[in-house]
Amino acid sequence: MILLDEPTERVCAAIVSGELAPVRLAVVAPGGYGKTTVLERLSGADVRLVDDAHLLGDAELAELSRHLEDEQAGIVIATRPHARRAELNRVLARLKGQIVLRPFDVARTAKFLEATGSRELAEFVHAQTGGVPGLVRAASELSLLRHELDHAGEDVLRFLVAADAGAGADLAGGSAEAAYATGLLAPDGKLLPIAARAVRELMPRDRQVSLRRELVERQLERGGPLLRLVTPLLGAGLTGDGIGAAFEAAADEAEPAAAARLYEAAAKAGRQVGARWADAACRAGDFDGALRLADAVIGAENAPDRSEGARVAGTALAHRGQLARSAELFQWAGTSEAQCFAAIALVGTGRAAEAKQALEKAGGGPPTLLSGAVSSAARGVVESVTEQPAVALSTLVRSAEMLEPVSARLLLPDSPAALGALVAVHSGEAEIAAPLLTRAIEAGSLVARHRLLLAWIAMVRGDEEVAVSRLRQAGDNLSPRDWLFAVGLRVGLARRASDLAALRRIWGQAREAVIRHPVDLFTFLPFGEFEVAAARLGERDRLAPHLRQARQLLAALGDPPLWATALHWSGLHAAILDEQPGEAAEHARALATGAGAGAYFAAMSQAAECWLKVLGGEVDQVAVETAARGLHDVGLCWDGARLAGQAAIRTSDRKVMVTLLDCARVLQGREPSATPGPARLSGRERQVAELVLAGLTYKQIGDRLFISAKTVEHHMARMRQRLGAGSRGELLAELRAELEPSVAQGTT
């Protein structure tokens, strides 16, 4: 039952009662608006009722004209607004008025749904149907619209299909008025959502395909947008040059994953789209598919786009971490941009001389933003191993800024922003790297990679919460290269949280990442984290071959401080954890060699010297504080706090211990401790702390205090959180500082 609005109900009641007489009215509205319902309400009136007058033939219309010659004869004629023949218009012109039917508002939609027992939300149904009464009724039974579609003419169906695809009304021909008369279109010409469902689900598939293909061919001739028109035809098995050209043209409008499917359809229809199909697959993250397609193009001697195929293959291999093979393909491709990409990959694999030769071959093409940015990026990477770090960073920053306006639509093996950020992180210029990466993310370029590098910056600064958030934002659909960095971040975060259990869980992923990804210059950050974690877990032998490869790569490049320092810093800490003082001293000497490259490198060299002295039992408060603050000032906040904290653990001078612990707190962004004493511990926590410092196990403490070992563990966790200790060793030092001097000095 369809609900009529109050004015229409009053008119119907007056007609039935005879209050309005003689009645000569028209009910003109699109399908589904309730014309038949009005006539049903008037069934008891002394008037002639005519439904669907737009379907009447000449003889029936002539008979209506004769009926109207009697001025006292009552009649109500219901019809759609279009299409109406001239004879019907003459009949309607002799009537005295018209009943106007309107769509439901949300309130009337809700009332109708309540009356029919539907549980659909009124707001949702109204949005789907536009409030058209017949469509509201069909919301719970879509098949009610089958009759409308079955009896619509070919022109009307073509218009509805075009509207479903968002095509202009002129594309479908002159059937707009008849299509609007179905009631399936909104006033703005868009197909109502429920009508779109009906077109897709109720119209026979072969009829849909035929109509869409006709529209696609018209649109192709006109050069208009094709994506929404052609997408429903995917999987229909259509062939022929025309439809193939349409698939190909639509792919240029689509996002990468959809473009790959469209290029596949174009290829099946007979079009030669191998390199562009490979490009789309690579953009979508399907590196295996991209390599397979590109390889087929490269291997076809008569293919016109073999160079483009090589460029795509080189890019896919770069994302998979295969820089050596990537460089070969870029060199073979031979274009100016490809030679620049080859130069970057060659430096990354330790072949600086070949990189310079590739860079010399670049040039000669049009001076586009891409060519300028890529050549600058290649120069910056070469400068990173031949010049001062500031020179390379400046070149890469300019390259990234030049590429920003067009970067989102480019397929790149790496971005100038990411390369610039790596150079910045390796030289202690994180404040330059962060905005560079943020702008690249806003431009839509290699978003996951740039988010991971932002997470890395947050981690080394000691902001683990931000690092975790940015790591999460990068998502799980990562290229092998990005996955390597994601695993490196997880390892680094677990290590900084002193979470040995988490580190053991993640180590399996780290081992897989190491096996799958060759070492190159641009992966020293994650490999450095793996080296320290391996030492912590007693797994250094597994990583040794890869670290030898890294150091051989550095040696081939002349041990440039920009890249060598990070690897020696991680090697120093791995040696410290592995209790190898001789090896630690070697790394400290290597760090001293690069100290002249800038403040960052000098700070790391000074800190390395300080570490060696601390490990040897020499804790100079001033020297430790100076070195720790030096690390903090160049962006290595966590490392600075750790140096101060570990030095505090190793001194027997309580005053020095407290001062260094306060220094560690400040460097971690926490407040220094209050006056030493038990104020920050509860009575029970003080008892637990004294027994822990006396060397008792949790079980022994529990037996003595009549509590469980688990409760002792909970007390320790709360004290560690309250005191801000970063590790168990730091917690013990904090507890010594909190308790009486006699306890602190009497416990080892």
CA distance 705 to 714: 14
In terms of Cα–Cα distance, which of 580, 578, 609, 577 is closest to 593?
609
Q: How buried is 89 (Cβ within 10 angstroms: 0-12 exposed, 13-18 middle, 19+ buried)?
A: exposed
CA distance 286 to 319: 11
CA distance 32 to 18: 28
Residue 361: how many CB atoms within 10 A of its CB? Answer: 16
Q: Is the pLDDT of residue 118 over 80?
A: no
Structure confidence by residue, pLDDT tens digits, 536-591? 999 999 999 999 999 999 999 999 999 999 999 999 999 999 989 999 999 999 99
With beta carbons less than 8 A apart as the criterion, state whether 284 and 256 touch: yes
Q: How confident is the model at residue 285 (pLDDT cuts 50, 70, 90)?
A: very high
Which residues, listed in sequence order, are joined to residue 79 by a DSSP beta bridge? 28
In terms of Cα–Cα distance, which of 677, 669, 647 is closest to 659?
647
pLDDT of 500: 86
Q: What is the DSSP letter of 192?
A: P
Compute CA distances 534 → 24, 374, 463, whole Å. 93, 37, 23
Give the DSSP letter string of 371-429: HHHHHHHHHHHHHHHHS-HHHHHHHHHHHHHHHGGGGGG---SS-HHHHHHHHHHHTT-
* Tokens 């401080």 belong to residue: 561
Structure confidence by residue, pLDDT tens digits, 175-213? 788 888 888 988 888 889 999 999 989 998 888 888 889
- Average pLDDT over every residue of 310-339: 96
Please give the structure tokens belonging to residue 580. 């190898």
Structure confidence by residue, pLDDT tens digits, 54-110? 999 999 999 999 999 998 889 999 999 887 788 999 999 999 999 989 899 888 888
In terms of Cα–Cα distance, which of 685, 724, 690 is closest to 707?
685
Give the DSSP letter string of 541-598: HHHHHHHHHHHHHHHHTT--HHHHHHHHHHHHHHHHHTT-HHHHHHHHHHHHHTGGG-
Give the DSSP letter string of 640-695: HHHHHHHHHHH---HHHHHHHHHHHHHHTT-PPP-SSSGGGS-HHHHHHHHHHHTT
Q: Is the pLDDT of residue 450 over 50?
A: yes
Contacts of 223 (CB under 8 A, 6+ apart): none
For 415, phi then psi, to 5°, come to: -105, 150
With beta carbons less than 8 A apart as the criterion, state whether 131 and 105 touch: yes
Q: How buried is 508 (Cβ within 10 angstroms: 0-12 exposed, 13-18 middle, 19+ buried)?
A: exposed
Which residues, listed in sequence order, are joined to residue 191 by a DSSP beta bridge? 185
* Tokens 């719970």 belong to residue: 140
CA distance 588 to 610: 10
Please give the structure tokens belonging to residue 696. 């008792």
Q: How confident is the model at residue 673 (pLDDT cuts 50, 70, 90)?
A: low
Q: Angle at which helices 683-693 and 709-723 pack, to 10 degrees?
A: 100
Contacts of 138 (CB under 8 A, 6+ apart): 32, 129, 144, 145, 194, 198
pLDDT of 674: 53
Rg (CA), the chain: 38
Q: Is the pLDDT of residue 531 over 50?
A: yes
Structure confidence by residue, pLDDT tens digits, 126-177? 999 999 999 988 888 888 899 888 888 888 888 888 888 877 667 776 678 8
Q: Is the pLDDT of residue 368 over 60?
A: yes
Contacts of 494 (CB under 8 A, 6+ apart): 502, 503, 506, 533
- Average pLDDT over every residue of 702-709: 76
CA distance 225 to 207: 22
> 3-class DSSP state for residue 519?
coil
> 3-class DSSP state for residue 108?
helix
Furthest C-alpha separation in the chain:
122
